[in-house]
Structure 1
């Protein structure tokens, strides 16, 4: 069985714009996800600010740390499209997918390593920008250029209407 067949068998959830799938630091439910439709944004708490790290687009896996070591969520995920349709991958499903489709494990490992480099680079750029900003507090910076990192500081993702934050339900 190939990767496409494995993905077609996943349990699905749909969440709406503005909803948090999970929040940074909250214990995980041991599940990772595959995004079929929609767009999600990843936020991380860096230097006292909630910073948008990147978007998750259809065809991407995410949340794999919950499968590997059941650690608390390392970032917050919020839906930015009208709806998002996600496939749920628990530990048992993950193991089965790896056995049935070794390409799944290779693709996942490759993408995790790429994201690690991207995230590390972005965090370094944010910290450097903050350090540079502290050094220039009394000077005007007339030659400042805008980079993708400059646009990354955004407001904290919103919580539910009742103020609660919880992971999306898993069936």
Structure 2
């Protein structure tokens, strides 16, 4: 069997049998799969999975025989089979996948897959967004605005200067119409945008870029640019937002110390890894406006550490930003803050506490077995 492949099964066709050895898990593409156990000599259906759901992961995690049989419940049921090496790679690199596996195992053990009392996090987030206006324009300084939509898009920031009109972060394609409404309300056409600066590569910041069809230049850090050029949907988190791929390229590479000048605003670039490896922050030098992307939000809340990011890089970046003496903190999500120094210091306290806490956890649990599994899996990936 290959390391990753598609397979199609007809109704009642066996995918694997209870008690068999298993070194791969499966993702349902179309149709449904039933998981059953042998009870008093007959097969009892205990669980069903559909498109986008996974099964067979327990045998991969525990290196034990299959705890149930799996068979197709519908004609032309198709699945992706993924070997153990790639399973462990996904676990080690992608927090969303790790959470999905934990939820799957938990629901299997509790047998509450269809529990009506369990509300999905997506439904909770959508409900929260419905309570806010479609788009809010927050004037910041002369010809500078924060643009906030109620979709899962990020905040965007507009700098309208004599020579250039600059937009920082474009948001999701799903949020473009609301963003366009914000721009129109301040008499700026999307086609008038000269430069789009991306603070990092996550899809809620880049998805709408192709919708800006004027003569615009898209700028980002070289690591962000490389992920976008490579079509690395894994790092970009495109699947997490349910949108099609954004087809565009980065025309301008932003290195540490670069300055983008609108004629009235000077945006200096700082490479601030932590949320991702290619994250940048921007300081508008004349007014002390600090755009931090998702590195740190108002109140000192962390925007998360994803994929290529890590907590020690976050501390390094926060130390860098703390020395800038900014006046206003403009984050990638949520409200702005008038106390950037306080936000940064609070985030640093959280980061240092997180390092201490996780060190204690790993010393107590001993992460040796886990990391050794990942190291061994590299042999499978490199075969």
Tell me the TM-score normalized by structure 1: 0.59
Aligned: 1:12 with 2:6: yes
* 2:15 paired residue among 13, 18, 21: 21
Larger Rg: 2
CA deviations 1:9-53 (Å, max 9, x no partner) are x5211122221001111222x001010111111111124432111
CA deviations 1:64-90 (Å, max 9, x no partner) are 122112211111111121111111121
Aligned: 1:86 with 2:79: yes
Q: Which runs of 5+ in 2 are unaligned?
A: 113-383
Counterparts of 2:35 and 2:15 in 1: how far apart (Å)?
A: 10
Q: CA RMSD in A?
A: 1.9
Q: Cα 1:48–1:116, aligned 2, differ >3 Å: closer, same or farther?
A: same
* 1:106 paired residue among 99, 103, 109: 99
Partner of 1:151: none
Counterparts of 1:13 and 1:90 in 2: how far apart (Å)?
A: 14
Summarize the alignment of residues 1-171 of structure 1 with structure 2, pairs less than 5 Å apart.
Answer: 10-28=4-22, 30-118=23-111
Counterparts of 2:81 and 2:15 in 1: how far apart (Å)?
A: 12
Q: Which runs of 5+ in 1 are unaligned?
A: 1-9, 120-171
Counterparts of 1:71 and 1:61 in 2: how far apart (Å)?
A: 18
Counterparts of 1:33 and 1:11 in 2: how far apart (Å)?
A: 10
Secondary structure of residue in 2 paired with 1:17: coil
Counterparts of 2:52 and 2:96 in 1: how far apart (Å)?
A: 15
Tell me the TM-score normalized by structure 2: 0.27
In the TM superposition, structure 1's runs of 4+ consecutive aligned residues that sit over 3 Å from their partners are none
CA deviations 1:73-117 (Å, max 9, x no partner) are 111111121111111121111122123311100111122111101
Counterparts of 1:93 and 1:27 in 2: how far apart (Å)?
A: 17
Count of equivalent residues = 110
Partner of 1:136: none
